[in-house]
Amino acid sequence: MYRLLLGAIVCLFSCLPPAFAAPDPRDSVAIALRAGRYHLVERLLRADSDSSDSASNLIRRGIALLHLGNPRAADSVLALAKLDGVRAACRDYWRATAQFLAGDAARATEEFERLCQSELAPVRDSAQVWSLRCAIALGDGGRTERAISRLVSRSDDLAAVGLLAKMRRGAPDWEEAWLVLLRRYYATREAYEGAFVAESLGWRGSGDDLVVLARMYVRQDDPAAAVQRWYLALEDTTLAPRRPEIRYRLAELLSTQRQYREAEQHLRALLADSSAQSFWPSTMRLYALVERRRNNEPRTRYWERRFAETYPDHEEVPEAIWNIAMSWDREGNCTEAVKVYEELATRFPEHPRAEQGEWRVGFCAYRARRYREAQREFSRLARSARDYVVADQAGYWSGLSLYAQGWLDEAHREWDRAAAYSPRSYYAIASALACGRPVVPPEDERPIARTPARQPESWPNYDDARWLSSMGQTLWARAVLTAGAAGMAQSMDEMEALADAFESLADYPTALAWRWRAMWRRTTEDRYHELPPDLLRRVWPDFYRDEVLAAARQNHLDPALVWAIIRVESVFNPEVTSQADARGLMQIVPATGRALAQQLRIDGFTEDDLYDPGLNIRLGTRYVAQLLGRFKKIDLVAAAYNAGPSNVRRWQSAADGDHDVLRETITYSETRRYVKLVLRNYLIYRSLYHIPRGGTR
């Protein structure tokens, strides 16, 4: 469903509180609208007296007034805007919204009913929902039924709105509506709300519906309710044939909630149940995972080995053997780890884990200071590995092994070979730095002039999308342009041109997604290492440049590090939320956001402010600066940002001060990967944009 108005896309001024922001030479009003800074919109429009009465600015003022809680004034201002076509439909939609909020539901109803037939999909869809709301507010049963029927007849998720409304009205067929909502639209928020309504009306789930209900609660991030429904499903006699599956899903959910003892009880029950044999392989692997989460390495190995020996032909056996080897590795027992890595390579030579295991064999030798043995293993992999990351990794470590033996010229030749593929991986970049080569290819003396396949304004619907963007309606603008360009961007140049159009709308996530499509069309198996800087900048963009530079300058940081973290955390999507409730561009959890806002004396901070790109960048950069002051090195900062500062000290101690070793011995696989991605991005950004530390040129 489309939201009425959008918050956070671009914050106007990063370093000043909203009340003291000054006009920006760009379209300051559009930027403020996207950031939800409606008081600022008002001030900017009042200051621009020459154009304050233009139709577009009247709409902007009306939107701001609507959000500032003054719907009557909003309606009066919106009525003055003389528009036609799509823009008139948008104006009428906002007017109808203002009328409803001002208490004139009857008048709003007529407008929304008319707009339900609009050619503009976002307006039509939103009007259908508002039409239902108006009818309910008026107590008009006939209109309400018609509005519900219109929504229920849809084939998309908006049908869930109508089904929920039918339930709330207590219609005779409310239970039928609920079951359709649950079974067909269980992934919607309406299904989640409908569950409470259904139970208040006396519905008690049974059979397969209990299973769907449990899955719905898992999807809606309500684990307590999901656990309760799984238990009910476990007790339901009609579900006896599905009991092994239900017990397994329950154990899986309990383990994610760190209820390990309860999870173990169900895993044991599964292994004791002869009717659950089809689930025994998954149960053993889940048992191993539970023990891993408990930091019980011997039990982790026991269950992975038991699985591998009981089901030797199972497709997950290579992963189980890998986990056994990594468990020994985490305990620092390289002798046992090497045995298992070699077993993996011997039994499953074609599996992707085999090459990774062979690299770990070389790494174990390196850590034992058997540098010649390590170098032989690394050198072989650097030339034969099918996985380009393993090949680059082996090349870099082959150079380190040679260097440790005092063979400096040979080390530089090995690094030079791996660096030829920079920047396709972190290791190719590290090799380039080690041998003094540039991280990215040098700038072309006469770069090829780019002629876009089409200009942004030539895409169907672009003018309307651009106008919507200037009104702060990024989602609506995206929907309109996407509909207009449907099926048209097939070639590499057309993909790039469509990315240009989305970028001009300040829809950076969508623009970058199209850039990546074009990049994969352009490149070969060697990925993007042969691309010149002007092409690399398209997939390592400096979006939110002013905000990043200002925040970096304020915190004495290299802006390249801020971009590097943003690119890994959110890929420039300011509206993303993680499973851990981390929000916005730099993925800040609300508790950390509140603490940082307090430090910066930002009044009135709310959790939703983390979706404001400028404020998110400001807070995130502050936190990065604090971590850098504590840990000094960028790889440690990245590890702390991802896994928390407390883990970093432990990893530092295990690596004995060797940062190359530390990056490979981080015990969390996600954090190992994260650290290398941040370092790769940081070095690419520094090479592409040449911005000195502190954020000034």
Q: Specify whether 497 is located in the same domain as 418.
A: no
Q: Is 588 helix (H, G, I), strand (E, B) or coil?
A: strand
Q: Specify whether 40 is located in the same domain as 175.
A: yes
DSSP for residue 82: -
State the pLDDT confidence band at 444, using cuts at 50, 70 and 90. confident
Biggest CA–CA distance in the chain, Å, is 88
CB 379 within 8 A of CB 400: no
Q: Specify whether 51 is located in the same domain as 187.
A: yes
How much is the pLDDT for 697? 37
CB 12 within 8 A of CB 37: yes
Rounded mean pLDDT of 395-421?
97
How much is the pLDDT for 19? 28
Q: Specify whether 527 is located in the same domain as 551.
A: no
For residue 230, give every residue at least 6 positions away whose Cβ sits within 8 Å of its Cβ, in sequence order, or none: 214, 246, 249, 250, 253
How much is the pLDDT for 11? 30
State the pLDDT confidence band at 47, using cuts at 50, 70 and 90. confident
Domain span at residue 139 reads 18-201
Q: Specify whether 516 is located in the same domain as 597.
A: no
How much is the pLDDT for 31? 86
Asked whether the predicted pLDDT for residue 153 surpasses 90, the reply is: yes
Looking up tokens 């080569």, which residue turns up?
437
How much is the pLDDT for 668? 92
Q: What is the mean pLDDT of the chain?
A: 91
- Nearest-angstrom CA–CA distance, 318 and 73: 67
Rounded mean pLDDT of 610-631?
95
Is 52 contained in some domain? yes
**The amino acid at 591:** A
Is 589 contained in some domain? yes
DSSP codes, 625-691: HHHHHHH-SHHHHHHHHHH-HHHHHHHHHHHTT-HHHHHHH-S-HHHHHHHHHHHHHHHHHHHHH-P
Rounded mean pLDDT of 261-279?
97
Asked whether the predicted pLDDT for residue 595 surpasses 50, the reply is: yes
Q: Specify whether 525 is located in the same domain as 644.
A: no
Q: Specify whether 375 is located in the same domain as 477.
A: no
The burial class, CB within 10 Å (0-12 / 13-18 / 19+), for 431 is buried
Task: Supply 90's token pair.
Answer: 């948008």
Rounded mean pLDDT of 277-298?
97
Q: Specify whether 425 is located in the same domain as 481.
A: no
- Which region among 39-53, 82-96, 461-475 has the lowest average model confidence (pLDDT)? 39-53
Which residue, of 439, 467, 495, is where some domain finishes?
439
- Nearest-angstrom CA–CA distance, 121 and 479: 8
Q: Specify whether 577 is located in the same domain as 514.
A: no
Is 132 contained in some domain? yes
> How many Cα neighbours within 13 Å face the side chain of 235?
6
Rounded mean pLDDT of 274-296?
96
- Nearest-angstrom CA–CA distance, 364 and 443: 40
Domain count, the chain: 4
pTM score: 0.88
Q: Is 260 helix (H, G, I), strand (E, B) or coil?
A: helix
Is 403 contained in some domain? yes
Q: Specify whether 525 is located in the same domain as 549.
A: no
- Give the CA radius of gyration of the chain: 29
> How many Cα neighbours within 13 Å face the side chain of 34?
28
Looking up tokens 């429009």, which residue turns up?
45
- Please calculate the CA angle 432-433-435 and round it to the nearest 5 degrees: 70
For residue 547, give every residue at least 6 positions away whose Cβ sits within 8 Å of its Cβ, in sequence order, or none: 10, 11, 14, 613, 614, 617, 618
CB 320 within 8 A of CB 308: yes
Q: Provide the residue count of the chain.
A: 697
Q: Specify whether 504 is located in the same domain as 645.
A: no
- Nearest-angstrom CA–CA distance, 662 and 673: 12
DSSP for residue 524: B
Scored b (16 or more CB within 10 A) or e, 624-658 reads bbbbbeebeebbbbbbbbbbeeebbeebbeebeee
CB 95 within 8 A of CB 67: no
Please tell me which residue, 467 or 28, carries the higher pLDDT value.
Answer: 467
State the pLDDT confidence band at 650, using cuts at 50, 70 and 90. confident
Residue 501: which of 522, 475, 481, 476 has the closest Cα?
A: 481
Long-range contacts of 120-123 (CB under 8 A, 24+ apart): 120/86, 120/89, 120/90, 120/464, 120/480, 121/479, 121/480, 121/483, 122/2, 122/473, 122/475, 122/476, 122/479, 122/480, 123/89, 123/90, 123/93
Q: Specify whether 416 is located in the same domain as 550.
A: no
